[in-house]
Amino acid sequence: METPYQNHIAKSDFEHVYEPAEDSFLLIDALEKELDIIKTKNPMFCLEVGSGSGVVITAFGMAFPEAFCISTDVNFKACEMSQSTAKYNKVLMDTVNMDLASSFVNGMFDVIIFNPPYVVTETSECGGMDITASWAGGNKGREVTDRLLNMIPKKLAQDGIFYILLIEDNIPEEVTEIMTTLGYKSQMVISRKVRNEQQLVMKFYK
């Protein structure tokens, strides 16, 4: 998978939107590793929740130009940047300013991608609509993540795949248990240690 160009974005814009970092590129690497599997699903509708700069969903759209991509973000400036990144890289994508995936039709998406706010913080730090929404994860760094997990059975197509990036502080085993309870199988796609942080990408499917 190609990494999208982002030289249309001014450095100062990243004061308001999460700048692509190691976690963003690990997620792209995970999707690249999964390309052949995703191709067998013939994905038509794909969603990234919390797209930030749009680098991940745009990379996906570049690899699957026949798919219609949608991104969401609670931060309106992130929506604008995601849209501009897609347009600059000639990817067909709509961006919606919303909380997670709450307003979409059930069973709509063949692929859902999520790089959540995973930093362990006080609960009071969650719920922002600016750049803090990209990192403040609350208790276990999972308060936002757990809300989306409960939406997945409704938003993901029966044969769909859900990809999520986690760190060890998020207790991935508990995420797996939650998704197992919801009827999903799980697999770790890729893992990498970045400074003092172990990052990994999990996938969930029926």
Are the CB atoms for 200 and 166 separated by under 8 Å?
Answer: yes
Q: Is residue 153 part of a domain?
A: yes
- pLDDT at position 106: 87
Tokens 């994508």 map to which residue?
A: 93
Q: Is residue 104 part of a domain?
A: yes
pLDDT digits (tens, 9 = 90+) for 160-186: 999 999 999 999 999 999 999 999 999
Q: Is residue 4 part of a domain?
A: no
- pLDDT at position 194: 86
Q: Is residue 2 part of a domain?
A: no
Question: Distance between CA 89 and CA 140 in Å, rounded?
Answer: 36
Compute φ and ψ for 11, nearest 5 degrees: -55, -35
Q: Give the domain extent around 61.
A: 11-205
Q: How many domains does the chain have?
A: 1
More confident residue, 39 or 195: 39
Q: Is residue 57 part of a domain?
A: yes
Question: Distance between CA 138 and CA 20 in Å, rounded?
Answer: 21
pLDDT digits (tens, 9 = 90+) for 121-163: 999 999 899 999 999 999 999 999 999 999 999 999 999 999 9
- pLDDT at position 109: 97
Which region among 66-75, 100-109, 173-182 has the lowest average model confidence (pLDDT)?
A: 100-109
- pLDDT at position 1: 87
- Mention every residue, 6+ apart, whose C-beta is less than 8 A from residue 96: 70, 71, 72, 79, 103
Alpha helical stretches, state H, 18-110: 22-33, 35-40, 55-63, 76-88
Residue 198 belongs to domain with CATH number:
3.40.50.150
Tokens 């030289």 map to which residue?
A: 7
Question: Distance between CA 53 and CA 13 in Å, rounded?
Answer: 10
Cα separation values, 188 from 27, 58, 94, Å: 12, 23, 29
Q: Is residue 6 part of a domain?
A: no
**Amino acid in position 79:** C
Report the percent of the chain where pLDDT is more than 70.
Answer: 100
Query: How sure is the predictor about 113, in pLDDT bands with cuts at 50, 70 and 90?
Result: very high
Question: Distance between CA 129 and CA 77 in Å, rounded?
Answer: 10
